[in-house]
Amino acid sequence: MNYLSEFLSTNSSKKEDESTWTVYEYLTNRSITRKRRERQLRQFRFQFEPEPSNTTDPYSSIFSDVQIDLSLLNSSENKLNFNREDYLRTKITPEFLNLLKDEDFEFGYKTRSEMLIVEQLNTNALATRNWLNEIFLKHFHDESIVIGILRIIGRFDQEIIFPQGQTIALAALSHESDEIKELGIRAFEKWGTMESLNILKKVKSDSKWLQDYIDQVTSDLEAEVCHI
């Protein structure tokens, strides 16, 4: 005899009709131990599941097609990118951070940190862009790191660093440092695309000189991109 039947038989004076006995009443009865409740719940869980509704969900067919095949996460390409990003984190990050803190960026000269990024982009562009974006986020509080990354991405053509580079420059516009905001604007100015123009049109600054710079870059881009 199972626990539920045993309980019902010993408490027949309280409830003669077993069909009206609810799972809640059984499981909340203080005379039944916690372990017995858990075992009984596992044993009878399928009996008390609600019956399928006859009502058709208008979105069920849509969401049934939106399935993520978890096995794809183990594909060779995903593994390749994952392994590459892990290598960048563990082997390249320390060297890169040290370079950013020690180097001076001069116009017309490639720094060692910039050459390191170029080398990694040539090896695996996607993994490198993701890794660079990760470093930027983790070190957003460190102005020397953020400034170095912005100076580097601002030297690349948009296609090389897209879209992580644009995301980094956009995030820079929300930093408390005006210098970092200026570097974010300068990156969009360098890329000189319609996307850059649309973003800068929405940027406002409380600093007059910075807003003047934004307005000037916006005006220049409108002339170049829109031929105004």
Spell 54-91 as b/e; 16+ CB within 10 A means b. eeeeeeeeeeeeeeeeeeeeeeeeeeeeeebbebbeee
CA–CA separation, 179 vs 143, rounded Å? 9
**Mean pLDDT for all residues in the chain:** 79
Domain boundaries for CATH 1.25.10 within the chain: 76-225
Tell me the fold of 76-225: Leucine-rich Repeat Variant (1.25.10)
Torsion of CA 90, 91, 94, 99, to 10 degrees: -150
Residue by residue, pLDDT tens for the chain (228 residues) are 555 455 445 554 444 444 444 555 555 555 556 666 566 555 555 444 445 555 555 545 544 555 555 555 567 888 888 899 999 999 999 999 999 988 888 777 889 999 999 999 999 999 999 999 999 999 999 999 999 999 999 999 999 999 999 999 999 999 999 899 999 999 999 999 999 999 999 988 888 999 999 999 999 999 988 875
Contact predicate 97/90, CB 8 Å: no
Global model pTM greater than 0.85:
no
